[in-house]
Homo-oligomer: A and B are copies of this chain.
Amino acid sequence: MNILKHYRKIWAIEHAQSLLGWDMEVNMPKMGITERSVAKGELSVLAQSLTLDPKFLDLVEKASALETLNDYEKGVIRVLQREIKIAKAFPPEFVRELSEVRSKATMAWSEAKEKDNFRKFEPWLDRIIELSKKAAEYLGYDEYPYDALLDLYEEGLRTKDLEPIFEKLEKDLKPILEQILEAGKISNEHPLEREKYEIQAMEEVNLRILELLGYPLGVKGRLDVSPHPFTSGFGINDVRVTTRYEGFDFRRTLLAVVHEFGHALYELQVDERFMFSPIARGVSLGIHESQSRFWENIIGRSKEFAELIYPLLKEKLPFIRNYTTEDLYAYLNMVRPDYIRVEADEVTYNMHILLRYKLEKLMINEEVKARELPELWNDELERLLGIRPKNYKEGILQDIHWAHATVGYFPTYSLGTLLAAQIKNYILKDMPDFYEKITTGEFAPIREWLKQKVHRYGSVYSPKELLEKSFGEGINPEYFIKYIKEKYLD
């Protein structure tokens, strides 16, 4: 297939871009940004021009008209048509500018966050709002400009799909949260939060947990440190995760590692035959997040997982001797309205997304300036969770996403969180001893089940098609609400 031969060049550029990005967060010396941002910009333009090569367009066009395509081929064409649509929409100068602004804004954000100085990031955020609006106009949309951006991260997702989901979440979760806080049975603080750990010991714990879960450390993966935990795949055979170490409240780094493992496993278990092709990766951010959330929440926050890792923690972290497995479980499942999204509990997490979703809609659909956003952020958090950030670090500067110019990305976190609860239901039907398997660390059949249902398909099917095919229904918030009620109210 000539299409795949040509695509291999684009694939190679994306492989390089991923590494350039990973390196920026993990290794790059500060001043390296000068040349790195230009290199990334040039490579974006190059990939775009290869995507729009007339011969290639012609091949894709002709192939799309064929009636004999199998699912694999249809998937390739579907994904390429999406990429072509995006490449066509953006003028090369815009692509270069977006890529360069993204690199520089990320460095500015990093500094702004470190110094808790929003001013350092503000002009970049304004540029990113402006570029995102432009992007929406270039891409086109039926109803809201924001829809164009949502679709970039979650194929087919529209504001009108999200509205009822977020409405239901707000409506149902607020009273659940109130009930939990009033009942007082679920911890809202825990002495383990204040226990300090040695970074080296904690790193050993994280590495051992990754081994337990079945992550191919050193063979197809590695664990590094970055300001914001993330997963980066350079193909099916090299998928790396990162975490960070604050030196206390070890749950943060531990759950981040379990979360990123979920992302990595998806990329690692894509069918090897798809290698170098446009479908050799997870299909969307929502589906991706369902995998990370499944491992983080459904497995990582279960009683069985607490039992499994307790001896390991006791061996490596001296203070654990003073706590029981029940303490560990309570600590991993505290519910408390708090500031930082990535550390939020299962009950309040979606409120954080709701906040960002509202702000993003304002940024893209209305006239709002970066300057006004910190205040809007704080007001909205207060409305949703009754607390108000005291500084930028625990407010608007906490996330890297806007610095990455990925407006429209946040809602996929909620989709993934909801979907993880659905997947728990489905796997329990096929594997009634799912929770027993966690206790014994028997993760191979769980990995295999996820591979069969989701991972192996890569991007062959669109998110909606995949869910329909493997589970017979789309995203449905009822499962999540039920899961939360059972876990925290019963």
Contact = CB atoms under 8 A, between A and B. Distances in A.
* Assembly stoichiometry (copies): 2
Interface residues of A, number: 44
A12 B46 contact: yes
A116 interface: no
Given A16-B39, A23-B19, A46-B12, A28 B238 contact: yes
Nearest to A50: B46
Interface in A47-99: none
Contact of A219 (B8, B15, B30, B221): B30
B16 A46 contact: no
A305 interface: no
A207 interface: no
A11 interface: yes
Contacts of A40: 12
A43 B12 CA distance: 6
A9 B42 contact: yes
Nearest to A40: B12
A463 interface: no
Given A32-B238, A34-B235, A222-B29, A39 B12 contact: yes
Contacts of A221: 29
Interface string A1-40: 0000000110111011101100100011111111110111
A35 B234 contact: yes
A266 interface: no
B11 A42 contact: yes
Interface in A224-278: 234-238, 240, 275-276
A15 B39 contact: yes
A23 B275 CA distance: 20
A29 B20 CA distance: 16
B35 A238 contact: yes
A236 B46 CA distance: 23
A29 B236 contact: no
A218 interface: yes
A219 B30 CA distance: 5
A216 interface: yes
